[in-house]
Amino acid sequence: MADNDPAPASRRAVLMAAGTAGVGALASVLAASAAAGADAGPPPPAGPAAPGCVLTTEWGAGPYYLDLDLVRSDITERREGVPFRLDLTVVRTSQGCRPLEGAAVDVWQADAAGDYSAGGATWLRGTQFTDGAGRCTFRTVVPGWYAELAPHIHFKVRPDNRTETSSQLFFPEDLLKELYAREPYAQREVPGHPNERDDRYRASGAALTLAPVPDGAGFRAAYTVGIA
């Protein structure tokens, strides 16, 4: 199933706290950000030290977003794959990276076979509202690959009824190659370089790549999203 996301869909700048990206990869972007000194909130479970709020480019929602308002944390619906927990924190960079309470956060992604739910199916889709610390959690699986795109998880933040921010999160390529050697991913021929073949990943992958750590039978990662 091909994703016809434009790259990028909009050049409207949004501020995101790159909770899992290294300082070196983002130094040039950080220098251009007026909010470079802001506090990005709590660090992720693992990974290199992260910069403050970083000016980056918003990615469009793509053709597979569905406004279903399925408020739930576990979105797997028995889809097979390596379990994955995604902890998101939403902050207001214009207010010193203050945690944002009550924001709707939508997540959607492909399954291990690279397919999205459609035609009334709802697997691997869900919405959560941030708590008083700006946090929400999704339980899902590591996504499979499709087309020539780096495997990713889409997310959309809706702080109110008038504004929204959409982007996507990537996975380290070494980890993907390790996990894709397992079932059910190994049922297909695994691309030699799941990420590097995607020009979108080469353009902004450093700022949007998670740093997963082992979590029981699967993995978990945290990411802080800063909106103006």
Read off the tokens for 114.
């690279």
- Taking the C-alpha atoms of residue 103 and residue 158, their distance in angstroms, rounded to an integer, is 6
Is the model's pLDDT at 44 over the cut of 80? no
| pLDDT for the residue numbered 200 | 85
pLDDT > 70: percent of the chain:
75
d(CA 180, CA 183): 7
**pLDDT tens-digit series, residues 16-25:** 433 433 323 3
CB atoms within 10 A of CB 1: 12
Structure tokens at 8: 């990028």
Q: What are the residues facing 92 on neighbouring strands?
A: 98, 227
pLDDT at residue 226, rounded to an integer: 86
Q: How confident is the model at residue 53 (pLDDT cuts 50, 70, 90)?
A: low
Contacts of residue 16, defined as CB under 8 A and 6 or more positions apart, other chains included, come to 53, 54, 56, 167, 207, 208, 224, 225, 226, 227
Minimal CA–CA distance to 48: which of 70, 19, 27, 75? Answer: 19
- Cβ within 8 Å of residue 206, ≥6 positions away: 21, 22, 25, 26
| pLDDT 10s digits, 150-190 | 999 999 999 998 989 899 999 999 999 999 999 999 999 99
Tokens (6 digits) for 208: 């949007």
Residue 205 pLDDT? 87
In whole angstroms, give the CA distance from residue 17 to residue 14. 10
The backbone torsions φ and ψ at residue 162, rounded to the nearest 5 degrees and listed phi first, read: -115, -20
